[in-house]
Amino acid sequence: MYKDQKIILRNLPNERCSRYLEAFLEMLLAERGIATNTLDAYRHDLKDLARFIIEGRNSSVAALDTAETEHLRQYLANLQKRGISSRTVARRLSAMKSFYRFLNSEGLRDDNPSAVLKSPRKGRQLPKVLTENEVAKLIKSASQLPGAEGLRLKAMVELCYATGMRASELIGLPVSVLKRDPNVIIIVGKGNRERMVPLNKAAKDSVNEYMKVRDVFVNKGQVNNYLFPGTKGLPITRQRFFQLLKELAVLADIPKSKVSPHILRHAFATHLLNNEADLRSVQKMLGHSDISTTQIYTHVLDYRLRKLIATSHPLGKFTEEAK
């Protein structure tokens, strides 16, 4: 169990929230290898539900453990009344369902009050995507920044775009990551699952140039085993990388809202598919356990597929000739 994950579990305030919430979170951590951020989101969502139940004037229950279906329905309605997005409501319902399934499977409840609840319909939200030209402008702007800061930022942008890494995966890379095989990079993703992604020459060259100045970012007298070091032996923070990208967007004359670590990940997937990569390969490189998660990127294929039907399918040819 990681140190920061222990802190999350140990510091759960006792708000008559649930006698079993800590056990539930420990199960997620031990059996599913759930990421720290996801664990914290479950904790936050279930504690919000607990507060709603406890504070409800008409509620006869005193804790999350004994809530009934009607209390859960009231909570979901309250979320919508508060203007919470349908995606967030769906996420909180997922946390509720997991918690009550856990109670039921462990024999702590005879029923599952969340079983009959249905998730609100979520609008299909397509990811923001940078064009290939915009990514090129970002990389060019980074290469024009002076000194070690410029070399570091260029290497981080190139790695994100070349591999589709999440920000947390990027900053967690060990300095030894390219020593085994410089042509591929092994990424440790969600649930500590490893995946291997090919590395292009541009990204390798950027990292090699950055490695010549990496020691500038390591405090004297400290050991730092991260590729992109921060302070006190830790990696650079996600917040700092996010901030650097926003500053880079201004230099590249690209709207700041279009640039973030996750949007670079979207660009990686979209540009691969747009250049005829197959969906399964992109799924593996992104580290998606379910291909349905990857399918959101297929919006970029619409035009190419329509053109293929029109020019290659017999019916398409017939239709074109009839015009």
- Residue 190 a catalytic site member: yes
Helix (H) or strand (E) segment spanning residue 186? strand 184-188
Q: Any catalytic annotation for residue 166?
A: yes
From the list 109, 190, 284, 299, the catalytic residue is 190
Q: Cβ contacts of residue 119 below 8 Å, gap of 6+?
A: 89, 90, 93, 94
Answer for the pair 62, 54: CB distance below 8 angstroms, yes or no. Answer: yes
Beta-carbon-side half-sphere exposure of residue 135 (alpha carbons within 13 Å): 22
The H or E element that residue 215 is part of is: none
Q: Say whether 57 is catalytic.
A: no
Q: CB 95: neighbour CB atoms within 10 A? A: 20
Residues 6+ apart with CB under 8 A from 105: none
Catalytic residue among 204, 265, 266, 271: 265
Of 137, 154, 271, 288, the catalytic one is 288
Q: Pinpoint the alpha helices (H) of the chain.
A: 3-10, 21-32, 36-55, 69-81, 86-105, 132-143, 147-163, 167-171, 201-211, 238-251, 261-274, 279-286, 291-294, 302-312, 314-322
DSSP three-state, residue 58: coil
Catalytic residue among 166, 195, 204, 271: 166
CB-CB contact of 91 with 41 (8 Å): yes
Active site (annotated) includes residue 265: yes
Structure token pair of residue 311 = 């020019």
Strand pairing report for 194-198 and 184-188: antiparallel
Q: CA-to-CA distance for 18 and 2, rounded, in angstroms?
A: 23
**Of 75, 100, 161, 297, which is the active-site residue?**
297
User: Active-site residue among 262, 280, 307, 317?
Assistant: 262
Q: Which residues pair with 198 in a beta bridge?
A: 184
If we measure between CA atoms, which residue out of 67, 28, 70 comes closest to residue 50?
67
Rg (CA), the chain: 24
CA 270 to chain centre: 16
Q: Active-site positions?
A: 166, 190, 262, 265, 288, 297
